[in-house]
Structure formats: structure tokens, C-alpha cells
């Protein structure tokens, strides 16, 4: 109860000064002490509380975009308040946003990611990437990959909605994505588990010959706000398990670096008496960092043969054209992260207590000098000693590294439960050395620092995305929330100042952008807006022209929504009719959103001010079905309803 | 900058006392002032920050269970920290929890709520109800209704997972649910928009004769942890729009009260030149509070004819058996809430500035005296003046009322943007009167106070579930988060101390329970546990007996999962095989959850420690499909994978 004594003393001080200080001050001191005492807050707690509290109506300084892990979504979190401002539906249908629940626009976006006839209605989102200009976040777009089925999605940050999903044509799984080139020319989707080309069948006995990694380079058309599939291409890689990537910047612009594991090319088989994968893929002391020249690859791809509709640069061509090199990296590597100036690639090996810094200058020199043996696929392996710049022992289970603007790196320690801060050598500081480690609870995976993977990191805040929570929160059953801990980087020492319970998913990676870089719409620019096209829908319902038209067995409806009614309110059709139903929210007021629920049919929409959505279905259920507004819009919200009457045949 | 001056003064005070008080104290004062100054925190902000901050590893005092609105889920929020501890998937599939994404148990739970052949994969959850014993929350179960398709779900609070969904047999829409009787004998699902029986077709011209409201009484079997459909029944009501209900307690035990609107029986039709619904249903000065004797109804239901498989008490029988009475209630009523002792029903009319208190004693007297005219359906209308106890003018747009333990009521004011606190008359206080109004931003719908609708409310905290947020948070596109404001009830005046951004849904109602009343499992009781049965699955995979068996075209797999491998790892089958795949997480450590993703098939599971899940599908996609753990479980988590090889035909 040391703090209690301390607090008591403050009360005395406050009391002793009432005469000269007046009531306000004693009021504050007394309140602070009384509340802290009652709530058992320590001195550090009081400071943390003040550092993270955003007053009613206040704004957060930064926004964090976190993957939702196997929730398949993206989460938007305010920093320093750590409030969940929004979940953005990406690969998993979500009805609050009306995403993939009857609206044809979002249903089509999702369908683009299906696997053959299999409707894949969930995702495992891993690494969000904000669009960049000259290596800095520009706040315009967000990309994210989906590991379970090898897909990439694009979110437009004008309205924070998913506009596009593309499917990897060469592999049905990925991991090392998404990472963007300095001006977002390409979005890189790195692989993970090796596959036969296109995910076709080949027995594991043919692993070395038939299984490969495939890295995708998705071309981005910023004007169109779309990934341009016609200009995208892939490159074949050896059947190692390529892991996380990072893109070169400044001095290393034009290159991309992906770590890997399983250089053993192990195929597991515990059921056959083999060692399990976790043993088989961890035998070698060194795996390989993949060093790729994406700028040159983009040129070579112009003349590469198309496979499954996309140019694919073969492994032989990649070798012949000097597009791919390997660098040994210590034991079971995970993260590979490029320093703000692009001078170094920082690699962390899960089973090695060091971070290893590779000099891009030395990598270039080694490439030009022609040194090095080849791997079984003819890929040149640059000698470790020729390209390694420095190593620092940071602790057990190092995974991922972020940076601040003062020449320091921060590396997550999965096994040691902490974040290590270390000093970079030239040109940042004179030597490479460990500074300190702050404990985090527990088993931290990725970390995200404010703009910490750009050419100009902000420092200030770091978030530790912890994988285990155990004793951190109230017990809410066997499935626990994640624990995202906010670390203050502004003091003499790193300090954990907030534990955020994340009870809606398991974020992997996250990026933190200065809030003032975003310029999202409050309402859609014009009435009749189709968010999928980001343009007015020429067929959008218009106020005063609402109607129902029958053409044979097809009934087309043009409906408007405003406080507090739909127009039309009652619609009578026949069982079996094909229904095309357009709805426009004609409101212009910020936050004047209307929902649309149709009973008996799987239709749940969210119509933001100005938005037009189209629903299409066959009226196979006869009866009386109410439709109503699901977003509490006004005092007469309950009255905002109507009837779809379906006459039986 | 008044606070700056104030802070400066505190620094002086602290400085002046360094000599006697030592460094710690001056350190604290200096820190508080410096941080508050930098962050622009007022005196009130500092107090609010300390009142809501829960230190790292600390526990919240209360848990709030909030509906997710049209997200279709339930959210669990810690109070006072207002952290989202968990989203519980109920009507909408959710892949982080593996709910409805391949696991047969949860797929079956969802399918029970489908409408004919239409797969309804979302919901509009409205009113959660915690199970009660003697009118007090017991922390065992949670119920919630789904408005869009008339369904009720049951969540088991041992593992915080949805176990059952039941579909209303008489109507395809509801609203006034869920509310439980004092010992959770029944869960009440009240209607909303009138329908023909069973949702069958009938033209609106036959509204008065063919359209009705149907209130469901779902019997709960606490031992079985299931709603017992065989003992549940319904009752026919006039075609008014029955709205929110509340169940009598103590002196009014055995009765239930539901407000209503549209006593006009308006059928809208703006497209035909009629006034829109919001005008048509708001013409009368009085609508009707429905007073129902559920205890007696349960007896009458024993001999009631079955309709659509359930006993249905007809309107004529309800009248003849004295099961239903009406009480006039002022203009466009919304909430009806019973006082802690059951003496009064508090009604708020959206278009009337008063709350109206009805005396249950007077209602009983009026019923017994036989006074009152009949409505067009023969239902007796008890005279307003005979049963009304008191009215208090509280402000514009009163909606819902909660209570504290000191004889005060709290009513949300949708139009005035605030929460009114008012004093109850005898036996609580000597007179009925308004105390004060605290402003909230903006358009508050429901409010929830700590155990505020039980026989023993706690007071202390109240949450204002605001419907509009506009300027409260950073702009994140046209769809805004909701704003849940925490109100401190412990001081001399009500104070808003926290704005929680709710960016995953639009909660309607919520209940707040003392955290220590819950006793959730940390891990499942035994290995091989089937959460759907809450028992060990006799066919669950067992460590050491993992295997794959073929029987004709059916392949059955018994797999175990543990850090850091699946067993078996490689499984080869033929295209077209029918696959039955059982997986057990054999871990016993708290938080040792493993996910299971199967590429190429729509399978995403979450296996908590001890849990067994079965997946069943036809292998229609040939090729090589990785499966892997989606929950970051260990340093070798990436290595926890295997291959499903599907040989082409």
C-alpha cells in the first residue's frame, strides 16, 4: 500500500494549501488521491491513465489498422485511447456494415475470392499495408492478404470499405503479404507453404520437383483505385517456406526481401513415424533470405509466358536474369524488416537470440562480384560473412522489428515476453547495441510503432500485439481476448501504459498512421452513390421517381429511404418473381444511416447517406414479410417499415 | 487554459513540499500536471480518467452484455474500463470463434433458425436477458431475440457460446424480447409488426381480420440448458404493434406488460397517396399497454389447440380466461419497465414528455372490479385514471427506464439528448419528482444501469447507448461507430466519464451484471469435450489413437492438435470422397487454443483446450490443400501444418 501512504500525503499537502490555493485545487488533489486510493492505482497507473485518456468528443492522434487474423477483417483502433473505432469487413460477411448480406455489389466482391465452386466466406487476414508515396503512408488505400486461400484485398480509405478481392493464380495459400513498393506500384504477396503449380495434385514424394513457392506482384492503378490484374505477374521460387517480406526503400529501392524456413524441404508425416514438421523444418542452422529485384522482374515479366492467365517468371529465368539471390539467415527466421533509410535488412530468427543486420551495399557488392555457391535450384547463395553487417543479442524468440525516427530498432521477443530496444550503427549511431527490454504479457508476435516501417518513423507509440492473455482480463470462457499493449516511447524508458482487450479477432500485423493523413468522407459525395464504382449509379432511385415496374416475371423496384419512411411502403408481387430492388438513402446529414432488413430473405443492408444498393433475388417464399430500418435513425425509427406481400402461386 | 493555471499551481505546491515530502510525491504531482497540461485534460477529465482506468492485469468490476443490433451478435464489455472483452457469435457466422464455418455443431445451431429453404446468415439482435433466480441475475445463461426473422437464441455462460436458436412458429418478426420470468421459467418473445398467422399471405385490405400480434412464451429447462420447445406456447394479440415488454416481479409476479403503438391499425401506403407509417401510426393520443397473466396462461395453454406444432391461445380465449387486458398509455409508447419491488410499471411515450407510472395494485383492482370498455377485439380497456399512479415531466423523447437501489429511476431522452434521474414515490420516497438531467451525445436509445432491471439494482454505473456519434470520434468514413457513454452515479450529480466507440455493431439493449456472479470455464472440463452437448464426445479423437479410416467412399479422420503439430499431418484421399473429420485439442493449459484452417474448403475452426469439433464435406476440389493452425500458439506455430492431398478422378 505504498501508494496509499503517498496519496495520504498528497491529501495533507492539498489540505494544507486550501487557504492559499482555493477550493478548485484542493478539489483536484483530493479527488485524485481519493479516486486513486479507492481504485488501487499506483503512481505509474495514474500517469498511464492520463496518457491514454481521450476526453469526450476528443480525437485520437493516430489510427492503427490491424488485421483481424482468422476473423477475416481489418480493425481500426484509435491511439492513444485504444478504442476500436471500426471493424472493416473484408473476407467474412458482416451484417452491421451490410457486407455480403444481399447487396449485389459486396456479394460480387466476395465471390471474386471463391475457390472454384466453393464459397469461401471467411479469411485469415495477416499483414495490412497502407498505400505509400515516396515510402511514406499517404492514407489513401489499404491492402491486406488472406493466408488460408491466397487472396489479397483492397480497401478504399475514403469510405473505409473493401472494394476488391483478387485470388492468387499460382498458389492457394500465402503469408508474406501485403507489402507495397515505395510508390505503391506493386503490392507484394509472398508465399508460405510450397504447392504444386496452381494448387494442382502432386504426391509429396515429388516435393522437390513439383512443389514451389510463388510470389505475386499485383500492379496497382491508383487512378482507378483498383489492382490491375492485367499488369500483375508472378515469380517461381524454390520449395522453401517463404515467410515475411519487406520492400527496399531509398538506397535499396527496387528490391524486395523475404525470409524463409524449411530449407530442409521437409514433408513431415508424424503418422508415418517421421518427425513432426516443427522438428523436421528446424534442423538446419541456416535458412535463406530471398533477395529479389522487383523492378527488373517487372520488365522481364513483359515477355514471360502466361500461366493461369498471368505472366509467370520461371525459376530458371529468375536465376538467368539475376532476379533472385539467397542469403543465409540464422535459425528459423521470421521477420525481415528494412531500416528507414533502406541501408539494412534486419532479420530475426525465432530460434536464435540475435537480430542480424544485412548491409544492402554489401549484398549488391556480393551480387556484382559473382561470389557464392548455388542451391539445388541454381539460385546463388551470397556468403553470410560477405553481407552480414552486425548482430545484436536481444533475447529469446525474436520475431519482428520496427523503427523510430532516432535510429533505434524495436524487436518483439516471443519467448522472453518483451520488446527489445536496440541502437543501429552507422549512419544512425556509431555502434550497434542493445538498449533495454520492456516486459509485455504474453508471447508477443508482431509489434507496430507509429509509422514504424516507413522512411520517416514517428516513434512516440508502439503497440505489442500479444498472443496469450491468460491472467490479464476477466474470465470470459475458454476463448480469450487478445491483449494489445500500448507502449510509451517518449520517456527515458519504455513503459506499458494500456492493456487493450481485443475480443473480436487475433490481429497479426498492424500499421499506425498519423490521423491527420486521412481524409475520409463524412457522407457520400452525391445522392445515388455506388460505393463499389465510387460514382453515381445512373439507375439509382431518385426522390419523386420511386416506383415498381413489372416486366414478365421480373419486378424492379426503385425505393428511397429517409427519416422516417421508405418509399414505397407496400409492395405486392407473386411467388417466383425475380426481384431487382434498388434503394437510395437520400439523406445528406452526417451519420444519417439507414439499415434495411427484409424478413424471410437473407437481406441486411447498411445505407450510408447518399448510398445506393441493389438487391436481387427470386421470391421463393410466399407470405407477408416486413422490411424495416435497422439503424436507429429517429424518434419514429420503429415506424420506418413496410410490407413485401408475396402472393402464393 | 484555466486548467493550465491550476496545474501550474499544483506544481508550485508540489515543489514547495519536496523537502518534506520527498521525490515520489513531487514526481507524481509534477507528472500529473505535465501530462494533463500536454494532453489538455481538465479537472473533470483527470477524475474521469482515473475512474475508468483498469491497470494492466486488473479486473473489471462489472460485465455488460450488449446486443450487437444488426451485427447479429452479443458483445461483452468490461465496466468501468469499457473494453470489449468478447464478441459472442449468435446469428451471424464468425470465423475467429469458428462459429458456422465448417463445424457441424455450430452449423446445426444456425440452421435451426433458417426460414424454409432460405439460409438466414445474419440477425438483428435486440434485447439480451440474463437468466434470473428470484428476480436477480444468476450469471448462468443469456437469451437474446432476433427481430428480422423472429428468433430467440440461448448462450451458455460457462463457455460464452451460443447453444440454441429457436424460430417463432407464429410470426416471422419480433421485437419485445427477450425478457425472463423471475426464476427463468419462461423467456418472453413479444411481437412487433402484425402478421397473418404463421407469416402466410393475406392482403393488407384484410388487416383488421387476418393480421395479429403473437407473443411467445418459451419454456426454459435449466437442467438441460435448453429451451424446451415441447413446453412452449404462444398467445394471439390484437393487430397493434406490440413493443417492449417487462415481466412483473415480487408483488406483480406472474404478470407481463408490453407497450404498443399503432392502435390506429394503420397500413401505410405512401406510394398510394396515404400518409407514411410514421404519420399514420401516430394519430391517437393513447395506445395500449398490454397486461398479461403469464402464470395463468401457462395453465390455459395445456388445453390450447396446437398451431404449427405449438399450443396457441386464441384472442377469444385470452379474453374469456382473463389473460389479457389493455391500459391506455400516452403517445407512441416505447419502454415499459417494472420497478424493483414490482409495484409500478413505468411507461415512456416517445411523443409525450412524461413518464407515466401505473400501480399494479390499481391494475388488479380495476381488473377485479370489471370496469372498462372493450377494444374492437373484445379486450377490456382498464380506465386510465383508475390505474395511473403518477406522471413526471422528464423531457423530450423519453424511451427507456432503469433503476438504482435508492428509489430512483433513470429514463433516456432521445430528443433532449440526455438521461433524466427522477425520484419514485411510496414505498421508495414520499413523492414523485424529477431530480436532474445529464446530457449525453447523441440521441440515446436504451440505457443500462448496474443490475438496473432486477429486484436489487446496484446503482453505481449507467451506460447510455447513444444512436448518433457525429462529432465524437475521428472520421472513419460514412458509417460511424456508436457511442456508449459511461455515467458515474456515485457522485452528487450524474457525470459522463467515458466515451466508448462501438465500431462493430449498434447495440440496442444491454444488461450489466456484477462480474463475481459469473463462473466461466477457463478450459473445457475434459479432453474430447463437445461444447454443443456440454459433455465428452464418445467418438472424440484420443491421443495415441489418431487414424484415418476408409469405408467405401467415406473417409473418417480422427486427429489431435497440440503445440506444435497436428496428428496426422498428411492425408491423401480421392476426389469425391465424403470426409468426416474429427479434431480434438488435447491441451489443458489456459489459453492454449488452436485454430484449424483448411485451404480450398470453407473450413475455419477454433478449438479451445479440450474441445472436439467435427467437420463434414465432400472433397469436390482435387489438388494439394494445406491445413494449419490459425491461432498463434507457440514459437513454432508456423510449423503447425499438414497437407490434404486430393487425387483427381
Span A98-145, pLDDT tens digits: 999 999 999 999 999 999 999 999 999 999 999 999 999 999 999 999
CA nearest neighbour of B330 among B381, B279, B371, B391 = B391
Q: How far from chain centre, in Å, is Cα A375?
A: 34
Residue B373's CB is within 10 A of a number of other CB atoms, namely: 10
Residue of B446, B448, B447, B450 lying closest to B513 (CA atoms): B450
Q: Which residues, 6 or more positions from A68, have their beta carbon under 8 angstroms from its beta carbon?
A: A74, A75, A87, A90, A125, A504, A505, A506, A507, B96
Residue B4 in contact with partner chain A when CB distance is under 8 A: no
Lowest mean pLDDT among A339-353, A601-615, B24-38, B90-104: B24-38
CB contact under 8 A, B639 and A518: no
Cβ atoms of residues B252 and B338 within 8 Å = yes
- Residue A117 Cα distances to A113, B100, B447, angstroms: 11, 19, 46
Of B6, B59, B149, the CB nearest to A474: B59
C-alpha–C-alpha distance, residues A73 and B450, integer Å? 32
pLDDT by residue (tens digit) across B38-71? Answer: 999 999 999 999 999 999 999 999 999 999 999 9
pLDDT of residue A31: 82
Chain B 463-482, CB below 8 Å of chain A: which residues? 467-481
pLDDT tens-digit map of B555-595: 999 999 999 999 999 999 999 999 999 999 999 999 999 99
DSSP, residue by residue, A367-421: HHHT---B-TTS-BB--HHHHEEEEEE--SSEEEEEE-TTSEEEEEETTTTEEEE
* Beta-bridge mates of residue B298: none
pLDDT score at A331 = 87
Q: Do A597 and B70 touch (CB under 8 A)?
A: yes
Q: Cα–Cα distance between B545 and B566 in angstroms, integer?
A: 13
Determine which of A88-97, A324-333, A446-455, B509-518 has the lowest per-residue pLDDT on average. Answer: A324-333
Instruction: Provide the angle, in degrees to the nearest 10, between the axes of the packed helices B43-52 and B2-39.
Output: 40
Q: pLDDT > 90: what percent of chain A?
A: 94
Is cis: bond before B538, omega within 30 of 0? no
| Whether pLDDT at A42 is above 60 | yes
- DSSP assignment, residue B26? H
Instruction: Tell me phi and psi for residue A169, to 5 degrees.
Output: -80, -15
pLDDT at residue B591, as a whole number: 97
- For B261, the grid coordinates are 403503438
SS3 content of chain A, % helix, strand, coil (to 5): 20, 45, 40
pLDDT (mean) for B168-176:
95
User: What is the share, in percent, of chain B residues with pLDDT greater than 70?
Assistant: 96
A610 touches chain B (CB under 8 A): yes
Closest CA to A639 of B213, B441, B126, B175: B175
How far does Cα B300 stand from its chain's mean position?
30
Q: Work out the minimum CA distance from A269 to partner chain B, whole angstroms.
A: 5
Q: Taking 80 as the threshold, does the pLDDT of residue B20 lie above it?
A: no
Mean pLDDT of chain A: 95
What is the per-residue pLDDT for A100? 98
Output phi, psi for A266, to 5 deg. -75, 145
Residues of B in contact with A546 (CB under 8 A): 271
pLDDT category at B27 given cuts 50, 70, 90 is low
| A372–chain B nearest CA distance, Å | 29
Q: Pick the residue from chain A with its C-alpha nearest to B23.
A: A6
Pairwise CB contact (< 8 Å): A350 & B610: no
Alpha carbon of residue B108 to chain centroid: 21
Judged by a CB distance cut-off of 8 A, whether residue B400 touches chain A is no
Rounded distance between C-alpha atoms, residue B452 and residue B461, angstroms? 9
Contact A620 B118 (CB under 8 A): yes
Q: Residue A22: how many CB atoms within 10 A of its CB?
A: 12
Mean pLDDT of A424-443: 98
Tens-digit pLDDT profile for residues A262-310: 999 999 999 999 999 999 999 999 999 999 999 999 999 999 999 999 9
Confidence class for position A4, pLDDT limits 50, 70, 90:
very low
Residues near B420 by beta carbon (within 8 Å), at least 6 away in sequence: B394, B395, B398, B410, B411, B413, B434, B435, B436, B437
Q: What is the pTM of this model?
A: 0.96
Q: B198: exposed, middle or buried (C-beta count within 10 Å: 0-12, 13-18, 19+)?
A: middle
Q: Report whether pLDDT(B262) > 90.
A: yes
Question: How many Å apart are CA A64 and CA A512, to the nearest integer?
Answer: 4
Distance, in angstroms, between A356 CA and closest chain B CA?
A: 18
Closest-CA residue of chain A to B11: A25
- For residue A366, pLDDT over 60 is answered with yes
Kindly report whether the peptide bond that precedes residue B58 is cis, defined as omega within 30 degrees of 0. Answer: no
Integer Cα distance of A403 and A424 in angstroms: 10
Closest CA to A149 of A115, A176, A116: A115
The residues with which B448 forms a beta bridge, in sequence order, are B463
What nine digits make up the cell of B457?
439494482
Sheet holding B433-439, edge to edge: B398-403, B408-413, B418-423, B433-439
Compute the distance between CA of residue B541 and CA of residue B539 in angstroms, rounded to an integer.
7
Q: Are A350 and B635 in contact (CB under 8 A)?
A: yes
Q: Where are the alpha helices (DSSP H) in B482-564?
A: none
Smallest CA-to-CA distance from B348 within B217, B244, B427, B503 is with B244
- Crossing angle of helices A43-52 and B43-52, in 10° steps, is 110
Alpha-carbon distance B618 to A585, whole Å? 43
Sequence-ordered list of residues with C-beta below 8 angstroms from that of B3, at least 6 positions apart, any chain: B36, B37, B40, B41, B42, B43
Q: Which positions ≥6 away from B590 have C-beta within 8 Å?
A: A470, A480, B522, B523, B609
What is the Cβ-side half-sphere exposure of residue B216, based on CA atoms within 13 angstroms?
Answer: 36
Mean pLDDT, chain B, rounded, equals 95
Strand arrangement of the beta sheet that strand A433-439 belongs to: A398-403, A408-413, A418-423, A433-439
A379, A434 Cβ separation under 8 angstroms: no
- Alpha-carbon distance A251 to nearest alpha carbon in chain B (angstroms): 32
Contacts of A369 (CB under 8 A, 6+ apart): none
Question: Is the pLDDT at B333 greater than 80, yes or no?
Answer: yes
CB atoms B473 and A640 under 8 Å = no
The CA distance from A87 to B97, in Å, is 16
pLDDT at residue number B26: 54
Please judge whether B95 and A496 are an interchain contact, meaning their C-beta atoms are less than 8 angstroms apart: no
The B residues from 254 to 273 touching A (CB cutoff 8 Å) are: 261, 267-272
Helices (DSSP H) in B157-252: which residue ranges? 207-210
DSSP structure class, residue A504: S
Q: Given CA atoms B88, B91, B92, B98 in this order, what sign does their dihedral have?
A: positive
- In which element (H, E) is residue B39 found? helix B2-39
The A residues from 8 to 67 touching B (CB cutoff 8 Å) are: 9-10, 13-14, 17, 21, 24-25, 27-29, 31-32, 35-36, 39-43, 45-57, 59-60, 63
Q: According to the model, what pLDDT value does residue B315 have? A: 98
ipTM of the complex: 0.95
| Residues B147/B127, Cβ–Cβ less than 8 Å | no
Contacts with B94 from chain A: Cβ below 8 Å:
71, 92
Answer yes or no: is pLDDT of A329 > 50: yes
Average pLDDT on A162-181 reads: 96
Is residue A69 within 8 Å of residue A520, measured between CB atoms? Answer: no
pLDDT at A640 over 50: yes
- With beta carbons under 8 A apart, name residues in chain B contacting A31: 43, 46-47
Assess whether pLDDT exceeds 70 at residue A258: yes
Which of B114, B84, B189, B180 minimizes the C-alpha distance to B141? B180
Q: What is the pLDDT of residues B479-517, one digit of tens each?
A: 999 999 999 999 999 999 999 999 999 999 999 999 999
Query: Which tens digits make up the pLDDT trace of A583-617?
Result: 999 999 999 999 999 999 999 999 999 999 999 99
For chain A, what is the largest distance between any 2 Cα atoms, rounded to a whole number of angstroms? 88
What confidence score (pLDDT) does residue B281 get?
Answer: 94
Mean per-residue pLDDT for B225-233? 98
Which of A41, A546, A633 lies nearest to residue B50, judging by beta carbons? A41
A29-43, A164-178, A504-518: least confident range: A29-43
Dump pLDDT digits (tens) for B76-89. Answer: 999 999 999 999 99
Put simply, the chain B residues between 328 and 387 with a CB less than 8 A from any chain A CB are 332, 334, 350-351
Please name the member of A78, A469, A604 whose beta carbon is closest to the beta carbon of B591.
A469
Considering only the C-alpha atoms of chain B, give the largest distance between any 2 of them, rounded to a whole number of Å: 88
The dihedral built from the CA positions of residue B622, B623, B629 and B631, taken in this order, carries a sign that is negative
Residue A82 has pLDDT above 60, yes or no: yes
Report how far apart the first and last C-alpha atoms of chain B are (Å, whole number). Answer: 77
Closest Cβ opposite residue A41 in set B53, B121, B175: B53
The arrangement of strands across the sheet holding B161-167 comes to: B129-133, B136-146, B151-156, B161-167
What confidence tier does B3 reach under pLDDT thresholds 50, 70, 90? very low
CB contact under 8 A, B631 and A70: yes
Amino acid at each position: 500500500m505504498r501508494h496509499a501512504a503517498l496519496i495520504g500525503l498528497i491529501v495533507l499537502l492539498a489540505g494544507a494549501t486550501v487557504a492559499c490555493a482555493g477550493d478548485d485545487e484542493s478539489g483536484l488533489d483530493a479527488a485524485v488521491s481519493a479516486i486513486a486510493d479507492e481504485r488501487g492505482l499506483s503512481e505509474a497507473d495514474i500517469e498511464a491513465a492520463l496518457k491514454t485518456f481521450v476526453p469526450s468528443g476528443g480525437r485520437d492522434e493516430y489510427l492503427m489498422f490491424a488485421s483481424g487474423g482468422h476473423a477475416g477483417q481489418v480493425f481500426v483502433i484509435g491511439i492513444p485511447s485504444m478504442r476500436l473505432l471500426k471493424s472493416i469487413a473484408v473476407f467474412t460477411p458482416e451484417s452491421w456494415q451490410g457486407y455480403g448480406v444481399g447487396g449485389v455489389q459486396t456479394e460480387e466482391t466476395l465471390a471474386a475470392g471463391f475457390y472454384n465452386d466453393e464459397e469461401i466466406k471467411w479469411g485469415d487476414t495477416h499483414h495490412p499495408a497502407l498505400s505509400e508515396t515516396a515510402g511514406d503512408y499517404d492514407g489513401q488505400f489499404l491492402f491486406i492478404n488472406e493466408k488460408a486461400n491466397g487472396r489479397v484485398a483492397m480497401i478504399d480509405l475514403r469510405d473505409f470499405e473493401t472494394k476488391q478481392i483478387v485470388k492468387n493464380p499460382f498458389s492457394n495459400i500465402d503469408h508474406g503479404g501485403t507489402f507495397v513498393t515505395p510508390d505503391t506500384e506493386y503490392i507484394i504477396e509472398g508465399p508460405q507453404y510450397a504447392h504444386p503449380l496452381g494448387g494442382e495434385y502432386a504426391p509429396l514424394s515429388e516435393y522437390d520437383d513439383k512443389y514451389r513457392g510463388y510470389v505475386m506482384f499485383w500492379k496497382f492503378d491508383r487512378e482507378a483505385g483498383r489492382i490491375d490484374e492485367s499488369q500483375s505477374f508472378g515469380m517461381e521460387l524454390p520449395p522453401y517456406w517463404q515467410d515475411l517480406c519487406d520492400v527496399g526503400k531509398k538506397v535499396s529501392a527496387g528490391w524486395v526481401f523475404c525470409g524463409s524456413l524449411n530449407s530442409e524441404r521437409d514433408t513431415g508425416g508424424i503418422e508415418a513415424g517421421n518427425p513432426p514438421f516443427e522438428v523436421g523444418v528446424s534442423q538446419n542452422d541456416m535458412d535463406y533470405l530471398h533477395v529479389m529485384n522487383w523492378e527488373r522482374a517487372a520488365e522481364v515479366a513483359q515477355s514471360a509466358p502466361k500461366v493461369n492467365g498471368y505472366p509467370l517468371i520461371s525459376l530458371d529465368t529468375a536465376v538467368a536474369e539475376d532476379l533472385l539471390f539467397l542469403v543465409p539467415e540464422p535459425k528459423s527466421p521470421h521477420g525481415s524488416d528494412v531500416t528507414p533509410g533502406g541501408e539494412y535488412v534486419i532479420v530475426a530468427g525465432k530460434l536464435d537470440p540475435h537480430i542480424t543486420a544485412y548491409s544492402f551495399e554489401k549484398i549488391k557488392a556480393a551480387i556484382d562480384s559473382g561470389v557464392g555457391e548455388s542451391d539445388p535450384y541454381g539460385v546463388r547463395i551470397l556468403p553470410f560473412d560477405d553481407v552480414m553487417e552486425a548482430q545484436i543479442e536481444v533475447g529469446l524468440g525474436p520475431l519482428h522489428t520496427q523503427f523510430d525516427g532516432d535510429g533505434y530498432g524495436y524487436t518483439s521477443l516471443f519467448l522472453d515476453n518483451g520488446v527489445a530496444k536496440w541502437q543501429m550503427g552507422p549512419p544512425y549511431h556509431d555502434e550497434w547495441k542493445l538498449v533495454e527490454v520492456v516486459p509485455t504479457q504474453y508471447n508477443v508476435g508482431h509489434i507496430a510503432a507509429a509509422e514504424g516501417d516507413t522512411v520517416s518513423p514517428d516513434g512516440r507509440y508502439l503497440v505489442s500485439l500479444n498472443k496469450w492473455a491468460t491472467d490479464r482480463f476477466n474470465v470470459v470462457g475458454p476463448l480469450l481476448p487478445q491483449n494489445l499493449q500500448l507502449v510509451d516511447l517518449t520517456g527515458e524508458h519504455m513503459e506499458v501504459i494500456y492493456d487493450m482487450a481485443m475480443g473480436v479477432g487475433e490481429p497479426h500485423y498492424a500499421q499506425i498512421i498519423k490521423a491527420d493523413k486521412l481524409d475520409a468522407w463524412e457522407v457520400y459525395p452525391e445522392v445515388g452513390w455506388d460505393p463499389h464504382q465510387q460514382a453515381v449509379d445512373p439507375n439509382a432511385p431518385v426522390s419523386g421517381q420511386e416506383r415498381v415496374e413489372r416486366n414478365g416475371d421480373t419486378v424492379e423496384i426503385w425505393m428511397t429511404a429517409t427519416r422516417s419512411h421508405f418509399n414505397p411502403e407496400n409492395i405486392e408481387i407473386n411467388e417466383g418473381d425475380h426481384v431487382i430492388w434498388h434503394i437510395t438513402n437520400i439523406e445528406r446529414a452526417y451519420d444519417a444511416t439507414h439499415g434495411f432488413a427484409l424478413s424471410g430473405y437473407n437481406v441486411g443492408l447498411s445505407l450510408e447517406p447518399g448510398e445506393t444498393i441493389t438487391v436481387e433475388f427470386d421470391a421463393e417464399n410466399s407470405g407477408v414479410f416486413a422490411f424495416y430500418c435497422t439503424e436507429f435513425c429517429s424518434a419514429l425509427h420503429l415506424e420506418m417499415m413496410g410490407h413485401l406481400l408475396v402472393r402464393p402461386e
